[in-house]
Every structure is written in structure tokens, then in C-alpha cells.
Amino acid sequence: MADEYQDGGNEFEREPIPEKALKGPSAFWGMYAGEHTAGTEFMIGPLFVAWGVSAFDLIFGLLLGNLLAVLSWRFITAPIATRHRLTLYYQLEKICGRKLVVLYNLANGILFCFLAGAMVTVSATAVGVPFSGIKMPAFTDLLPTGPAWCLAVLILGAMMTFVAVKGYGFVARVGHLSAPWMLLVFLACGLVMMGKLHSVNLVELLTPAAGTHAQIGFWGVVFFAWFCNAAMHIGMSDLSILRFARKPAYGWASSAGMFLGHYLAWICAALLLVFWVRAHGVDPAKGMAPGPMVYDAVGWAGLVCVIVAGWTTANPTIYRAGLAFQSLYPKMSRATATLIAGSACTLAGLFPAIAMKLLDFVGLYGTTLAPVGAVILVEVYLAKKFGLTRNWAEQTGRSFNLAVLLAWLIPLGCFYAAFLKFNIFPSYLTLPVYLLTGAIYIIAAKLLHRQPPQPQTEPARL
Amino acid sequence: MKFTVKILGPLALALTVMPPLMFMFHSMAGPLMKNLMLAGCILWFATARFFMQGGAK
């Protein structure tokens, strides 16, 4: 959607979206359904099985978590997006100043590279199916599995980078067109697995073997489903998308992505591994690469789906990472920045660790980027109440807002310390970090920001 | 042409989901199901751009 304007030459990056450029609801329903049916969905479903999540926790936890995510888009992101109609970056620049936005972009770009790397990994497992020499990574593999695997990833990564450098309009178009078909392929995988397992009882099929230790329970699933896209909803990254919406109610369109991509697709993908565990005795903890499982279920159409799903989501991610890097050095061409981002993502894709630890990585990604959304939330709803200067950087002409930096880094430092020391599931900490960021921002802004000088007015003559 | 494409698109989607459904109820063999799904895949990518919203852009 925003991309259409990029192609058209006017991205409305530093101005509110004009009335004539607003979009109808169908554009948002289609965009969310397509964007959240990615190659990584083939990893996330089986990872729940590998983690020993119970059937009840998975079915109802995902239901509640996805509902909370939709509500976040509808009642947190969409109202702000349609009120100000600005991109996240421009809104942040007004509050934090240009230098701090550059820091945010750097974090964003690096995390985008890792995310795109995971998508390259998933696609490579499909490319490798016809070639018996390529050793597929298991969930326990953190390093490249051999020279043939490296070659497959390098070729795929190079092709994706080349397309991203050329402009990813074509691939975005393919992604848009293939979204309905991809969803049905996910559904087909689930149907075929139920046929092969001779049961349509989802609760029975998704129940792990007796004695399986569940690494996360109901609330783990809820928080994961809620916050796997935390950067986009509560983190306000989707301001850039929803600013084109005519009214906040368009935020409901996110339900297409959540309940098709993050509910139906995850459960169908989970059934793939359930079959291999039950029929072939695969150790769920070691798992299976998605490519061979999908090929076994639905044949060549499945392989095309894995590659298209990975490619169409990796390409925009590489492109966005390139833009983020370009913002660090504005004189650098977009092509060079995209080439750097693509190379970094290809290198990341060589290591299956990111794809195989996707449940953790997605939590880290969301928790790192989402807190800036709390700053925007405070600015929009609480600044007046607490007597804060709204859009402090713009009002004072400063390029660096220390209050925002402290509010972002202090909770984040505590989060990474807790994650590294106690190995806490990252999605549990997204909400506390988010709320703490908002609270610290209010305190820090009160302490550090002096009110900007008011314009001199003549005293009233009595 | 438009009419044909409008029929072929949904047919492609039907070829993607109906064979697996029939396989689930043991009314179709696995290899035939996979071949029909591949046909659905080719048909979808050949026709989708003509009828999906904004497809001509």
C-alpha cells in the first residue's frame, strides 16, 4: 500500500496523508492477510509442537493472543494513525530528534536482517528438497549443515538481494497475488495430515505424547501470539500503513492476518510435524525442516508455496532494512544500502539458529522495538495531563531526546539481562518493558525537559 | 477472455483445496491429489493477475 506511493514517487513521508490518497477497507484486509502468511509460519507451528505445547493451550491460547493483537491494532495503532496520518519515523523524529531516530533505525535494520535471514533459511529448505546432497537443518542445528547447504542459501540470498536492489515491486505484486492461494496450501497441508493421521479431532492430534514437558503453557502461547508483531501494533510501526485508512475501524483488518496467517496456518503447519512424529518416529525436539514436510504432504505445489512465502516476505524486509541503513548514511545510494542489508541477511540465513529459535527471536525483536510505541502513546494521550511538551524535539529544535533514550534503554537493559541470565521466554516481558518505558518517559521528560520558551505577549492593559 | 479468467481463478483455488479435502476423506489417492494441486498452482499464477484487484498495475 505505502509501496504503491513509493513507486509513484510520493511517499508522503514528511506530511500527513491527504484525503485523496486514503484507501478503502479492502486494501487493508488483503494486505494484512498477505503480510502475515509468510514462510516463517511453516516454522512457528512445528516449533509449538517441539516445545510440547498442549492442544488446549495451542488452540485457545492462539485464539486469545490473536484477538488481543487485533484489539491492539484496532484500539492503539489505528486511532493514532488516523488522527495524525504520519509515519512512525516522522512522528518519532518530532519527539526524539533525528539522531535518536537513526539509532532506532539501526536497531530496526539489524533485526530486519535477521528476520529476513530466517525467511531465507526456510525457503532454502524447500530449494534443497530435490537435491539429496543438501543436509536439512533440524531444530537443534545452530550452525550451517555443510557446504551444499551454504551454497543453496547463498544462491537464494543472492537472488533475493538482486531483486530487492532492483526494487521489490514485482515480488510485492507476486506476494499480493499469491496470498489467497498460499493460505489454501497451508489449509491443504492440515487437511492432508488429518487424512494421513486418520483423525479430524484436532484436540487429539495436537496433544503431545504422555510425559512431554511443555516449555510454555497457555499464557506463553497467548503472549507469543499477542506480541510476535508487537513492533507493528503497540510499537506503532504500522502507523506507516494505517495512516492511509479512512477511519480507525480499518484496524479490524488485522484480523485477516491474525486468524488466517497466525491461527489457521500455524495450526496446519503444526500438524505437519505431528504427522512426522507419529508416523515416522521423528523426535519432536529435533523436528524437521519445513521443505521436506510440505513436499511430502502436498508435493511440488507445497515447495512453490514455501519458496514464494519466504521470498515475498524476505524481499520487502531486505528493502526496509536497506532503507534503515541508508538513513544512517544519507549519501549512500539505496542500491548500496540494500546490497549491504541483503548480504547481511544471506549470512544470517546460513545459520539455521535464527529460524530454529524463531519463537525466542520474534520475542526479542518485538520487545526491542515495541517500547518506542509507548513513548508515542504517552505523547498522544498523556502529555497534556502530565504537563509534558509534545513533540519536544520539534518544539525545541533539538536532535536528541535523552528522556526517550533513557526510557527505551533502561527497561531494555533489564530485559536483556533477565533473558540472558534466567532464559525467560521473551514474549513474557514485552508488556512489562513497554509499560515501564512509558512510565520512565513521563518521569524523565518531567525532570529533563524544560518548557520551550513561550512567545512573548504584551501584558493585558487594564 | 475476462469471463474465462473469472472462472479459471476460482477453479485454481478449488484445485488447491478440494483434492486435499477428498484425500482427507480417503476419496482420492495421494499422487493424483498432488498433481491436481500443482495444476491449481500453475493455473492460479497464470490467471490471478487478470482478476485480482489492482492486478493490472
DSSP codes, A311-358:
HHHHHHHHHHHHHHHHHHSTTS-HHHHHHHHHHHHHHHHH-THHHHTH
Cα-to-chain-centroid distance, residue A208 = 28
Residue of A nearest to B46 (CA): A177
At residue A179 the predicted structure's pLDDT band, cuts being 50, 70 and 90, is confident
ipTM of the complex: 0.92
Nearest chain B residue to A185 by CA distance is B16
Question: Could B44 and A178 be called an inter-chain contact, meaning their C-beta atoms sit closer than 8 Å?
Answer: yes
Q: Which residue of B has its CA nearest to A196?
A: B24
Task: Give the separation between CA A304 and CA A294, rounded to whole angstroms.
Answer: 10
Using a CB–CB cutoff of 8 Å, tell me whether A177 touches chain B.
yes
Average pLDDT over residues A251-272: 94
A417 belongs to a structural domain: no
Residue B53 lies in a domain: no
Considering CB atoms only, which of A30, A192, A304 is closest to B23? A192
The CA dihedral of A58, A59, A62, A63, to the nearest 10 degrees, is: -160
Which position has the higher pLDDT, A128 or A172? Answer: A128
Least confident segment among A8-17, A96-105, A259-268, A418-427 = A8-17
Q: How far apart are CA A156 and CA B34, in angstroms?
A: 25
User: Cell triple for residue A295?
Assistant: 513436499
What is the C-alpha to C-alpha distance for residues A302 and A176, in angstroms, rounded to an integer? Answer: 18
CA distance A196 to chain B (A): 7
B40, closest residue in chain A (CA to CA)? A301
Give CA–CA dist A148/A137, Å, rounded.
12
Residue A168's nearest CA partner among A319, A33, A27, A38 is A319
Residue of chain A minimizing CA distance to B35: A299
Supply the pLDDT for residue A451. 61
Contact B12, B44 (CB under 8 A): yes
CB contact under 8 A, B20 and A200: no
Tell me the range of A163-177, A206-220, B39-53 where mean pLDDT is highest: A206-220
Q: Is B15 on the interface with A (CB under 8 A)?
A: no
Contact A184 B41 (CB under 8 A): no
What pLDDT score does A212 carry?
A: 82
Q: Rounded to 5 degrees, what angle do the CA atoms A434, A438, A439 make? A: 115
Residue A133's pLDDT is: 82
Task: Name chain A contacts of B17, Cβ cutoff 8 Å.
Answer: 184, 187-188, 191
Structural contact between residues A404 and A91, judged by C-beta atoms closer than 8 angstroms:
no
| Number of structural domains found in chain B | 1
CB A312 within 8 A of CB A122: no
Alpha carbon A178 to chain centroid, angstroms: 20
Contacts of B48 in chain A (CB under 8 A): 177-178, 180-181
Domain span at residue B32? 2-48
- Position A320 scores a pLDDT of 79
With beta carbons less than 8 A apart as the criterion, state whether A56 and A236 touch. Answer: no
Flag whether A46 is in a domain: yes
Residues of B in Cβ contact (< 8 Å) with A200: 24
Q: Is residue B27 part of a domain?
A: yes
* Residue B23: inside a domain: yes
Quick one: cell of B35? 498433481
Residue A452 has what pLDDT? Answer: 56
Query: pLDDT tens digit string along A392-415?
Result: 999 998 888 999 999 999 999 999
Asked if residue B54 is part of any domain, the answer here is no
Mean pLDDT of chain A: 88
pLDDT tens track for A16-63: 888 888 888 888 888 888 888 888 898 899 999 999 999 999 999 999
Q: Mean pLDDT across the stretch B25-38?
A: 95
**CATH assignment at residue A25:** 1.10.4160.10
Total structural domains in chain A?
A: 1
- Residues of chain B in contact with residue A30, where contact means CB-CB under 8 angstroms, are 53
Dist CA A66 CA A422 (whole Å): 27
Q: CA end-to-end span of chain B, whole Å?
A: 18
The minimum CA-CA distance between A184 and chain B, rounded to whole Å, is: 6
Say if CB A235 and CB A430 are below 8 A apart: no
For an interface test with A, which of B8, B41, B47, B49 has the most A Cβ atoms less than 10 Å from its Cβ?
A: B41
Cross-chain residue pair B16–A178, CB shorter than 8 Å: no
pLDDT at B57 over 70: no
The answer to whether the Cβ–Cβ distance between B34 and A300 falls below 8 Å is yes
* In-domain check, residue B55: no
Q: Is A146 on the interface with B (CB under 8 A)?
A: no
A273-293 pLDDT, tens per residue?
999 999 999 998 888 888 899
Chain B residues whose beta carbon lies within 8 Å of the beta carbon of residue A302: 37
Nearest-by-CA chain A residue for B49: A177
Tell me: pLDDT of A5 over 60. no
b/e string for A178-201 if b means 16 or more Cβ within 10 A? bbbbbbbbbbbbbbbbbbbbeeee
Give Cα separations from A44 to A62, A183, A263, A264, A287 (angstroms).
Answer: 12, 15, 11, 12, 12
How distant is the Cα of B4 from the closest Cα of chain A, in angstroms? 18
B38: in domain? yes
With a cut of 90, say whether residue A305 has pLDDT above it. Answer: yes
Residue-level pLDDT at A6: 44
Does some domain include residue B57?
A: no
Distance from CA of A394 to the nearest CA of B (A): 38
State whether residue B52 sits within 8 Å of chain A by CB: yes
Q: Does A22 touch chain B (CB under 8 A)?
A: no
What's the mean pLDDT in A158-185? 82
Does the pLDDT at position A175 exceed 80? Answer: no
The confidence score (pLDDT) of residue A11 equals 61
Residue with cell 512457528: A44
| Least confident window among A159-163, A301-305, A414-418 | A159-163
Site from B8, B34, B35 to mutate, A interface, most A CB atoms within 10 angstroms: B34
Question: Of A161, A160, A159, A153, which Cα lies nearest the Cα of A121?
Answer: A153
If one counts every other C-beta atom within 10 angstroms of the C-beta of residue A205, the result is 20
Instruction: State the pLDDT at residue A454.
Output: 53
What does the pLDDT look like over A323-380, one tens digit per residue? 778 877 878 888 888 899 999 999 999 999 988 888 899 999 999 999 999 999 999 9
Average pLDDT over residues B51-55: 58
Has residue A387 been placed in a domain? Answer: no
- Residue of B13, B15, B23 to mutate, interface with A, max A Cβ within 10 Å: B23
Q: Domain for residue A179, yes or no? A: yes
Q: A43 lies in which domain range? A: 2-357
Q: Cα distance from B27 to chain A (closest Cα, Å)? A: 10
Nearest to A71 by CA among A262, A251, A230, A241: A251
Q: Does residue A14 register a pLDDT over 80?
A: no
